Amino acid sequence: MAKVHQETAENIKLLANALQKGELVAVPSETVYGLAANAFDETACRKIFKIEGRPFNDPLILHLDSLESLDLVAERNEAVERLAETFWPGPLTLILPKKKSVSDLVTSGLNSVAVRIPGHPVLRKLLRACQCPLAAPSANPFGYISPTTSAHVEKGLGDKISYILEGGPCQIGIESTIVDLRDPASPSILRPGGISSETLSSVMGLSLAPSQPAKETAAPVAPGLLSKHYSPKKQLLLRSTPFDKAELQKLQKDDAALCFKRPNKALPLGGNIFWLSESGSAEKAAQNLFSILRQLDEGPWGSTTAELAPETGIGSALNDRLRRAAAKS
């Protein structure tokens, strides 16, 4: 059974030792909680796939403590420095040519590797203490809603792992943006995430096309990126326009509504109307998304209809998660 460890110097040392010995530790990050293993220990990394039921063709992201450790696992190019300077530590993952030190298991046989330097101070302490890159996907049974609190991790994987490191609720709330930087002259966004395509494009001085919304993508743009993902057990329907007052008043008891922004306070709320943000902040909405989707999945409602966010900034990443969560296959 998993034990949640508070962030004390003693516990960081204990968990760093566990990682060095090939055990797994669920760790906080600014995006979502991850299930981490020493990236250089293939046996430990294999356990991640087994415990999560993750297919071996879905490669893992490596979490590093510094740019110096990047050289241990990937080939740099001129665009890396610029992006790293602006966005690391932070929710940006880069796909780069891999070095031999990284096993095929971690990259699913690809000759590239996904890397990021996370910003969460507790995870950074652990990374410094264990002195190895950590391979870590989100800490949930494969395909289910990602965890943004230690309690979510406990609920999903608590009977399969021993260690969870507490780091509070995740500040970004959705996964990192993944940029394919194998060819620095033509970077592309493989997965929208914590950093918007608009911000990335302005820093890179060239237009980075956001990847297509999940439902319009015929084939996955990156291995493991599936149209159906982050999936609740109950039915999730989407709508692109906000609910109006009359629609909310007519909502059936068995159905829930998930608004992007808190509806008019005068509205009689029957306990089945939820909202992602108080005042329409896409950042707040992203922070709350997975927690509220879990709450809805555990509640008495048969189905939920969710409003999509305005398709701009982090709203695009939020909509990507909603579309994948609502996809049936």
Contacting positions for Mg ion (CB under 5 A): 137-138
Cα separations in angstroms, 179 against 25, 26, 93, 155, 324:
26, 25, 6, 31, 19
| Single residue of 95, 165, 208, 292 touching ligand AMP by CB under 6 A | 95
Q: Which is nearer to ligand AMP, 175 or 307 (CB)?
A: 175
Q: Which is nearer to ligand AMP, 158 or 223 (CB)?
A: 223
Choose among 185, 273, 174, 186: nearest CA to 229: 174
Of 70, 170, 214, 225, which lies in the binding site for ligand AMP, with binding defined by CB under 6 A? 225
Site for ligand AMP (CB under 6 A): which residue of 224, 232, 242, 299?
Answer: 224
Residue 16 or 94: which CB sits closer to ligand AMP?
Answer: 94
DSSP, collapsed to helix, strand or coil, labels residue 118 as coil
Binding-site string for ligand AMP from residue 136 to residue 175, where x marks contact by CB under 6 A and - marks none: -xx------------------------------------x
Under the binding rule (CB under 6 A), the answer on residue 75 touching ligand AMP is no
By beta-carbon proximity to ligand AMP, the closer residue of 112 and 196 is 112
The CB-of-233 to ligand AMP minimum distance in angstroms stands at 19
Q: Nearest approach, Cβ of 287 to Mg ion (angstroms)?
A: 17
Contact residue for ligand AMP among 12, 37, 61, 276 (CB under 6 A): 61
CB-neighbour burial class of residue 31 (10 A; exposed 0-12, middle 13-18, buried 19+) = buried
208 CB neighbour count, 10 Å cutoff:
21
Residue among 138 and 304 whose Cβ is closer to Mg ion: 138
The piece of 57-65, 123-131, 232-240, 256-264 that touches ligand AMP (CB under 6 A) is 57-65
Cβ atoms within 10 Å of 168's Cβ, excluding its own: 12
- According to the binding rule CB under 6 A, does residue 114 interact with ligand AMP? yes
The CB-of-256 to ligand AMP minimum distance in angstroms stands at 26
Strands 34-38 and 235-239 come out as unpaired
How many Cα atoms occupy the beta-carbon half-sphere of 303 within 13 Å?
8
Q: What is the DSSP letter of 216?
A: G
Residues that contact ligand AMP, how many (by CB under 6 A): 18
User: Token pair for residue 25?
Assistant: 């530790």
How long a stretch of residues is the chain? Answer: 329
Q: Give the tokens for residue 322.
A: 């909603």
**What is the closest distance, in whole angstroms, from the C-beta atom of residue 195 to ligand AMP in the complex?**
15
Runs of H (alpha helix) within the chain? 9-20, 42-52, 67-73, 78-87, 104-107, 121-130, 150-157, 197-204, 245-249, 282-298, 314-326
SS3 300: coil
Q: 59 or 137, CB closer to Mg ion? A: 137
Among 107, 177, 304, 319, indicate the residue that binds ligand AMP (CB under 6 A). Answer: 107
- Residue 204 sits in the site that holds ligand AMP (CB under 6 A): no
Q: How far is CA 165 from CA 41, 126, 291, in A?
A: 20, 9, 18
Beta carbon of residue 99, minimum distance to Mg ion (angstroms, whole number):
24
The answer to whether residue 134 forms part of the interface with ligand AMP (CB under 6 A) is no
Map residue 312 onto helix, strand or coil.
coil
Phi/psi for 177 (5° steps) reads -75, 130
Q: Residue numbers of the site for ligand AMP (CB under 6 A)? A: 58-59, 61, 95, 107, 110, 112-114, 137-138, 175, 178, 190, 222-225
